[in-house]
């Protein structure tokens, strides 16, 4: 009797694991498609690429937008975890800015993610601005609260900063008008938005970046 009860309990667990694997596979396929085609890809193209029916996709996601949002978010979070995995000296502001600078070099460190950024920034110009309204905004608010950056007129400063940073990302990944090194110089200039002096900004971007090995 006990053995039969255990089997009944194990079945839902196996089903949940199966569903989790299927969902994870769809997200991986969606990331590859975002890198290859971009968010303009149709649901039919996603289904063909993933070798599943559209009905299978609807089991896990309401629509293609939700799938692509999950795929992009997972890639973004994965990049940030990697970018912050190196234990380097520095205060919180320095570490936050190091992560922002590392994104400029994603073509070398995370080529798939870089292609995703290229297509998403090209086809969805506002997506980076929307993404910066989440955890990134909380981090900058905390920096302002601690006096590491200007606290006055925070909303206005943050709005200006997100447009500056998004513009730099587009210049690196979409138009390729500037190199990552040039983007870092412009990044330092943009820090004046936060009341950071020119000399301090130059010092901040002169910090050598530590790139963790890729798995």
Query: Given 11, 41, 69, which residue is the final one in a domain?
Result: 69
The answer to whether residues 37 and 93 belong to one domain is no
Q: How confident is the model at residue 204 (pLDDT cuts 50, 70, 90)?
A: very high
Instruction: Look up the pTM and report it.
Output: 0.86
**Helices (DSSP H) in 104-153: which residue ranges?**
106-109, 111-123, 127-131, 135-145
Residues 6+ positions from 66 with CB-CB distance below 8 Å? none
pLDDT at residue number 214: 67
CB 64 within 8 A of CB 43: yes
Which domain CATH number covers 55? 1.10.357.10
Q: Is residue 101 part of a domain?
A: yes
The answer to whether residues 169 and 199 belong to one domain is yes
Instruction: Note the pLDDT tens digit of each residue in 52-110.
Output: 999 999 999 999 989 998 998 899 989 999 999 888 888 999 999 999 999 999 999 99
Structural domain of residue 192, as residue ranges?
A: 84-205
**Residue by residue, what is the 3-state secondary structure of 174-210?**
CCCCCCHHHHHHHHHHHHHHHCCCHHHHHHHHCCCCC
Give the position of tokens 């937008």. 65
The answer to whether residues 19 and 91 belong to one domain is no
CB 141 within 8 A of CB 152: no
Q: How confident is the model at residue 17 (pLDDT cuts 50, 70, 90)?
A: confident
Tell me how far apart the terminal alpha carbons of the chain are, to the nearest angstrom: 46
């Amino acid at each position: 009797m006990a053995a039969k009860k255990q089997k009944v309990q194990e079945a839902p667990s196996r089903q949940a694991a199966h569903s989790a694997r299927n969902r994870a596979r769809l997200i991986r396929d969606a990331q590859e498609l975002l890198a290859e085609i971009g968010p303009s890809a149709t649901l039919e193209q996603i289904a063909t690429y993933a070798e599943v029916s559209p009905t299978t996709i609807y089991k896990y996601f309401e629509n293609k937008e939700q799938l692509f949002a999950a795929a992009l978010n997972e890639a973004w979070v994965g990049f940030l975890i990697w970018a912050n995995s190196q234990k380097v000296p520095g205060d919180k502001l320095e570490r936050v800015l190091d992560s922002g600078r590392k994104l400029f070099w994603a073509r070398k460190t995370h080529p798939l993610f870089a292609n995703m950024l290229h297509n998403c920034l090209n086809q969805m110009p506002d997506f980076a601005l929307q993404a910066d309204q989440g955890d990134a905004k909380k981090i900058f608010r905390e920096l302002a609260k601690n006096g590491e950056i200007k606290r006055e007129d925070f909303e206005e400063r943050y709005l200006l900063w997100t447009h500056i940073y998004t513009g730099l990302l587009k210049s690196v990944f979409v138009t390729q008008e500037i190199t990552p090194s040039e983007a870092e110089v412009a990044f330092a200039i943009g820090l004046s938005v936060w009341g950071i002096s020119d000399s301090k900004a130059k010092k901040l971007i002169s910090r050598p970046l530590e790139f963790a090995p890729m798995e």
